Structure 1
Amino acid sequence: MTEKPTVGFIGVGLMGHGMAANILKGGYPLYIKGNSNREPIDDLVSKGAVEITSPKEMAALCDVIHLCLPNSDSVEAVIRGDDGILAGSKAGLVVVDSSTANPTSTVALAEELEAAGMHMVDAPLGRTPKEAEAGMLDAMVGADDAIFAKVLPIIDCWAGIINHVGPVGSAHKMKLIMNFISMGYAALYSEALSIGVKSGVSPQVINDVIGASRLSNGFFETFMGCAVGRDMDIHKFSITNASKDVHYASAMASSTRTLNPVGEAVKSYYTFVEANGHGADYLPHLADHVAKMNGFDLAEAVRKGAK
């Protein structure tokens, strides 16, 4: 029986914890490096993971390293830093970046890793921490065929749907397209609720009518579960991350000279909410912020609509 490769995981937060836990369930030896929140680190250690102190140390120990970090700046620091993965210089190492990142940065990092005898895979995620814990995330993967085949069994531990979309960088491009749509949905649903409430239509009616129509979708259900159902933790994805993603998408549109006026309008909502100190709020909370911009309290409108 072939021995399983040793896996490293850097960034065991809301999404990374579930991914790492499912890699352990798959029988892979696992090294982890977390941030200041000890709870997910301690939980994974109790399940058999080994905590290490630096990406350089991890690179020396592992065959494959997963990254699940907030942005490209964080990814670049982990790879290029003095104690980073490149400093480990282990030939054949594969770095799987599951962050939502700037594709230009991804391609540049892939070239640097390749020059050092290592490989880059971009494998950004779809869905939520709930699916991460269940091992049922969506994965978009950018890699050449041979490297994709090498990492597929590991990705299969934490993903329910896996799409090999093309070479390195293509998955991060696809993820930005996906998040442009989802962040656009959130802005559109927020405006629709405000227009409806100020026109005398209750949030419940908007939810019920659209939810039963062909306009409904999984994102609508989750978003309205917060905005109307008032389950404020139903989608734990921060406004700061949303703002980052739409800014990356805007940069991608600019780099390709693509007209993107809707994207610029969507970006303004997230920029405004983040600039006003609410970046830690979750994505569906945008509806409450847009309601405040329009002079009313959405939670109060929901209470009135329930009468």
Structure 2
Amino acid sequence: MAKNILGGGYSLFVVGHKRRSRIDDLVQRGAREFQTYRELAEHSDLIILCVIGSPEVESILYSKDGLLEGIRKDKIVIDCSTSEPSSSEQIAISLKKLGASLVDAPLARTPDDAQAGRLNTMVGASKDDFQRVEPVLQQFCENIFHMGPVGSGHKTKLIYNFITMGYAAIISEAFCACAATGVDLQKFSDVVASGGANSGIFQLIAPKAIESGDCSGLNFSMANAAKDLRYYNRMMDTIPLSGNLGRSVQHALIQGLNLGYADGLVGDLLHVQEKLNGVQ
């Protein structure tokens, strides 16, 4: 993302986090590094965050030498993390008091798409703020959807991830059912691929898993997926929405974490089902 912003001719300021090599590469390409988020905010018109979730976003904004200490009028914070809408709404209030604003723009697609500037983003912003940030988002996003006011992007992403992780959980259980009942997995996959049950998620997971047992087709961490479903269910509780599928999907992911896949991918739900049911 940062590389593509630089490639688009924008000035880029960064704060180092975990991977020093990436910061060094950006600095060599022309970025300027600051040591604190306060300094970053003081020198930037648009500040882009892309971290794990709301606790990390809140820490970057509210901690000592955080963004809020350097925010001034007309600056915009763009949160590309998958964050909790209730937290985002409070952050928007804090920024508004300073004359600044929040844009929520969570991302979808893969790390390879990020490198190529082909991500998808779902944006929550006022019309004016969207017009200001859209040219920057275009540097690393192929498809940009303005979903509505602040918070709409994060709400959309959580519902989107509920569908994505729900597909993955169903596919994993279905493959286990095939193994338990003697249905040939390749033939089953052919049936799905030719009918209405086919999906992009199925095609990410099934071919590699059947060919070699490789569950990395859906390259998304199980821990982050469980976090997103936790956010989704808390969001639904505030409505409240009657339905138990969100918690069922979250439970499937928690089972995976508890069975040793805390560092695994969502596709490893296939292995989780194997362990739970004693089939391969």
Count of matched residue pairs: 279
The 1-side partners of 2:109 and 2:67 are apart by 28
Deviation per CA, 1:266-304: give whole Å up to 9, x if none: 11011122233322101111111112111123xxxxxxx
State whether structure 2 residue 245 is matched by structure 1 residue 265.
no
Q: Deviations over 1:17-45 (max 9, x none)?
A: xx111111111111122422223323323
Find the counterpart in structure 1 of residue 64 from structure 2: 82
SS at match of 1:108: helix
| CA contact 1:70–1:100 (8 Å) conserved in 2 | yes
Alignment partner of 1:148 out of 103, 110, 130: 130
1:226–1:285 Cα contact (<8 Å) kept: no
- How far does residue 259 in structure 1 lie from its aligned partner after superposition? 1.1
Give the CA deviation at 1:57.
1.2
Matched, 1:277 2:222: no
Gap runs ≥5 in structure 1: 1-18, 298-307
1:73 and 1:236 map into 2 onto residues whose CA distance is 23
Q: Which runs of 5+ in 2 are unaligned?
A: none
Counterpart for residue 247 of structure 1:
230
Is the CA contact (8 Å cut-off) linking 1:30 and 1:49 kept in structure 2? yes
Q: Say whether the 8 Å CA contact 2:104–2:154 is kept in structure 1.
A: yes
Which letter maps to 1:285?
D
Moved over 3 A (4+): 229-235
Question: Could you tell me which of 180, 189, 192 is aligned with 1:207?
Answer: 189
CA contact under 8 A between 2:259 and 2:272: conserved in structure 1?
A: no
| Other structure's SS at 1:90 match | coil
Q: Which of 35, 39, 42 is equivalent to 1:60? A: 42
Alpha carbons 1:227, 1:288 under 8 Å: kept? no
Work out which of the residue numbers 177, 200, 220 in structure 1 matches 2:159.
177
For residues 265 and 239 of structure 1, do their structure 2 counterparts lie closer, same or farther at Cα, with a shift above 3 Å needed?
Answer: same
Larger mean CA deviation between 268-277 and 36-45 belongs to 36-45
Query: Which has the larger displacement, 220-229 or 50-59?
Result: 220-229
Give the SS at the match of 1:223. helix
1:54 is displaced (CA, Å) by 1.6
Q: TM-score, normalised by structure 2?
A: 0.95
Indicate the RMSD between aligned Cα atoms, in angstroms.
1.5
Q: Does 1:69 align with 2:51?
A: yes
- Alpha carbons of structure 1 residues 190 and 232: separation in structure 2 relative to 1, 3 Å: closer
1:108 matched residue in structure 2: 90
Distance of 2:208 and 2:273 partners within structure 1:
14
1:166 correspondence with 2:116 = no
- Which residue of structure 2 aligns with residue 292 of structure 1? 275
Give 2:24's aligned residue: 42
Q: What are the residue-to-residue correspondences of 1:215-234 with 2, within 5 Å?
A: 215-229=197-211, 230-234=213-217
2:247 counterpart letter in structure 1 = E
The alpha-carbon deviation at position 231 of structure 1 amounts to 4.0
Contact kept, 8 Å, 1:227 with 1:285, in 2: the verdict is: no
Q: Deviations over 1:131-156 (max 9, x none)?
A: 11111111100000001000000001
The one-letter amino acid paired with 2:116 is A
Partner SS state of residue 241, structure 2: coil
SS at match of 2:72: coil
Equivalent AA in structure 1 for residue 209 of structure 2: A
- Aligned counterpart for 1:125 among listed residues 79, 83, 107: 107
DSSP-derived class of the 2:143 partner: strand
CA apart distance, 1:94: 0.6
Q: Against the structure 1 CA distance between its residues 231 and 26, is the aligned structure 2 distance closer, same or farther, given a 3 Å change threshold? A: farther
Q: Does 2:156 align with 1:157?
A: no
SS at match of 1:157: coil
Q: Could you list the per-position Cα deviations for residues 239-261 of structure 1 after superposition, in whole angstroms to 9, with x for gaps in the alignment?
A: 00000001111001111010121
2:6 aligned residue (17, 20, 24): 24
Query: CA offset at residue 226 of structure 1?
Result: 4.2
> Comparing 217-226 with 93-102, which one deviates more in the overlay?
217-226
Distance 1:271 1:123, change over 3 A: same
Same amino acid, percent of matched pairs:
38
Q: Distance in 2 between matches of 1:232 and 1:89?
A: 43
Q: Distance in 2 between matches of 1:201 and 1:39?
A: 48
